[in-house]
């Protein structure tokens, strides 16, 4: 058999990534403590996940410009993400 094995349920991803196995975020919106509590949706969750990813990349030594290129946004947005990751901003 060639090609990827089928998954059950099918790997259809979510509004953040087309497939779970291709998701760039380290945390899944459906895992963890938020599963049974209130869970942020769409844009709010995406902002929080991008903020966490920006903080992780910054800690690894990436520059703001490199992070911006990697996340597909501008340097100002990266700075906002870093502020949110530090707890100083809101992901309304």
> Residues 9-59: pLDDT tens digits?
677 777 777 777 777 777 776 665 444 445 555 677 788 889 999 999 999
Only one residue has tokens 């975020």, namely: 25
Segment 64-91 mean pLDDT: 89
Q: Tell if the pTM clears 0.75, that is, is over it.
A: no
Fold of 44-92: Arc Repressor Mutant, subunit A (1.10.10)
Contact predicate 50/68, CB 8 Å: no
* C-alpha count within 13 angstroms, C-beta hemisphere, residue 4: 8
Q: Is the pLDDT of residue 92 over 60?
A: no
Q: Is the pLDDT of residue 2 over 70?
A: no
Residue 48 or residue 5, greater confidence = 48
């Amino acid at each position: 058999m060639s090609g990827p094995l089928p998954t059950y349920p099918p790997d259809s991803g979510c509004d953040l990534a087309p497939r779970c196995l291709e998701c760039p975020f380290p945390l899944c919106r459906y895992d963890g403590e938020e599963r049974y509590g209130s869970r942020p949706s769409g844009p709010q969750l995406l902002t929080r996940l991008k903020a966490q990813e920006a903080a992780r990349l910054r800690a690894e030594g990436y520059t703001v410009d490199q992070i911006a290129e990697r996340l597909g946004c501008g340097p100002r947005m990266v700075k906002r993400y870093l502020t949110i990751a530090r707890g100083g901003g809101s992901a309304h």
